[in-house]
């Protein structure tokens, strides 16, 4: 768990597009999203990854033709959530 927290903090603090689209980052976001989408980890497609200097960020997880907007709180309060995006 600590490894994921540190990894996520680095991810969202950098805000670097190359880093946010790396296979390791995408895999971690798939893992985080799976609990909210109800889909297996590999069934989630991750897009629109953004990060902020405070450690917070957002991404979209798509599964079974549903798009979820997911977010992470700042590095001081690392909570995660996803909800179905309204089309």
Report the pLDDT value the prediction gives residue 2, as an integer from 0 to 100.
47
CA 67, CA 65: separation in Å to the nearest integer? 7
CA 4, CA 44: separation in Å to the nearest integer? 18
- What are the residues facing 57 on neighbouring strands? 51, 72
**Nearest Cα to Cα of residue 33 among 21, 18, 17, 49:** 49
Residue pLDDT tens, the chain, 87 long? 544 454 455 445 444 555 667 899 899 999 999 999 999 999 999 999 998 888 889 999 999 999 999 999 887 777 889 999 986
Report the pLDDT value the prediction gives residue 40, as an integer from 0 to 100.
97
Report the pLDDT value the prediction gives residue 25, as an integer from 0 to 100.
87
pTM of the model: 0.74
Q: What is the dihedral of CA 11, 13, 17, 18, to 10 degrees?
A: -50
Report the pLDDT value the prediction gives residue 15, as an integer from 0 to 100.
47
Task: Tell me the two tokens of residue 75.
Answer: 């590095």
């Amino acid at each position: 768990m600590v490894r994921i927290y540190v990894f996520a903090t680095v991810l969202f603090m950098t805000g670097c597009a190359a880093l946010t689209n790396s296979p390791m980052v995408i895999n971690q976001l798939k893992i985080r999203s799976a609990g909210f989408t109800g889909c297996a980890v590999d069934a989630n497609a991750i897009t629109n990854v953004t990060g902020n200097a405070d450690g917070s960020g957002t991404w979209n997880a798509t599964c079974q033709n549903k798009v979820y907007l997911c977010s992470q709180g700042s590095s001081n309060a690392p909570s995660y959530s996803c909800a179905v995006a309204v089309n």
